[in-house]
Amino acid sequence: MKDDNRRECFVRSPHPIADLEKRLHHQPAAQQSQKMSTHSVSVVIPAYNTVAFLSQAVESVLDQTFTDFEIIIVADLRSDDIVQWVKQIAAPQIKLISQENQGRSVAFNHGIKLSQGEYVAFLDADDLWESTKLEKQLALFARDPKLGLVDTWMFLVDEQETVLSQSTTSFAGDVWLEMLKANLIACGSSPLVRRQCFDKVGWFEDIQGFEDWHLWTRIAAHYPFDVVEEPLVHHRQQSDSTARSLDLMISNRTQAIEDLYQSVPSDLLWKKRQSYGCAYLDTALLAYRSERYRQAISFFWRAFQSYPRFCLTKAHLKVLVKSLLYLWLGTQRSAQFKNVAQILLDSPEE
């Protein structure tokens, strides 16, 4: 496949400016006309349902060793809490943008539109950065001016900041085909993106839960990626995150897959089966971890139908067998069953 074909396929804007203007609050003309970049990095933070953690998120940005940045907080300012808090901080880098809660994608797009930095980062209000995050990402950009996005590893933490796991996915260069299959970027708060990427492929689509993957994949069609192989983000897992509707999740992911493959050259359309296989398998693992074993088995079967090879790994087969055993025997785990499961079905997924 010629690279030109791929690039031509993915040059499109998800939300034309004219349409987006109708959804966003109009800004003063003087603010709209500012085109000169006064900061190297713009950090966009939507703050709606996670105000309790916002101060920690902002402080983690203010503590960065790289200091040439602006912070754009997009929030519903009809509440005085955020306004008063920002006044108390008195940090000139912070800009408050008033917008009713229309979803994460719209908030990020509003922030991109008003940002001035050469690079743009995104930070969910309940996540945190290590102090060297921006410095280390910018070092990779300086080493390779062709890069479009630099990621980092991350810690998954609970609401008390206890580390639950760590992502250690490494990738570099042309990752478009891998990104089509599944999201290599574990957390939306970790990438730093070169501004020109948005001019090339547009902004976030409104696909709940998969807007990040959709955008990163479109960027990967044109620009190489790199990653700082160090956990520099603390991604907070909310206590109710496992209670989400798995059917809604797979529906939204299906929407993202179908939309992305509309622009894939015909000789690569067979890879859609891989994308669906990954989608169903990921959902099966989520169902298993939340003890929804019947759904786990159902999604595992759909993954097998889509792309059998992904399912036939030792780790995934263990999850399937455990789900079957729990479903047949019930979740009242006797000491004997525990011993058998430990010996025969030790799962690395837990």
Per-residue pLDDT of 9-41, as tens digits, reads 444 444 432 333 333 333 333 333 333 345 799
Q: How confident is the model at residue 328 (pLDDT cuts 50, 70, 90)?
A: confident
DSSP class of residue 173 equals: B
The mean of the pLDDT values for the chain is 80
Domain with CATH 3.90.550.10 in the chain: 3-239
Length of the chain: 350
Q: CA-CA distance, 295 to 286, in Å (whole number)? A: 9
* Residues 6+ positions from 251 with CB-CB distance below 8 Å: none
- CA–chain centroid gap for 61, Å, is 18
Looking up tokens 């599944």 gives 182
Q: CA-CA distance, 196 to 131, in Å (whole number)? A: 25
Tokens for 34? 């500012």
More confident residue, 46 or 326: 46
- CA–chain centroid gap for 302, Å, is 24
HSE at residue 163, side-chain half, CA atoms within 13 A, is: 9
Identity of residue 188: G
Element (H or E) spanning 105, and its range? helix 104-114
DSSP class of residue 28 equals: P
CATH 3.90.550.10 correct for 3-239: yes
Looking up tokens 């529906």 gives 251
Instruction: Give the percent of the chain with pLDDT over 70.
Output: 78
pTM: 0.79
Whole-number pLDDT of residue 162: 86
pLDDT higher than threshold 90 for residue 242: no
Q: CA-CA distance, 225 to 175, in Å (whole number)? A: 7
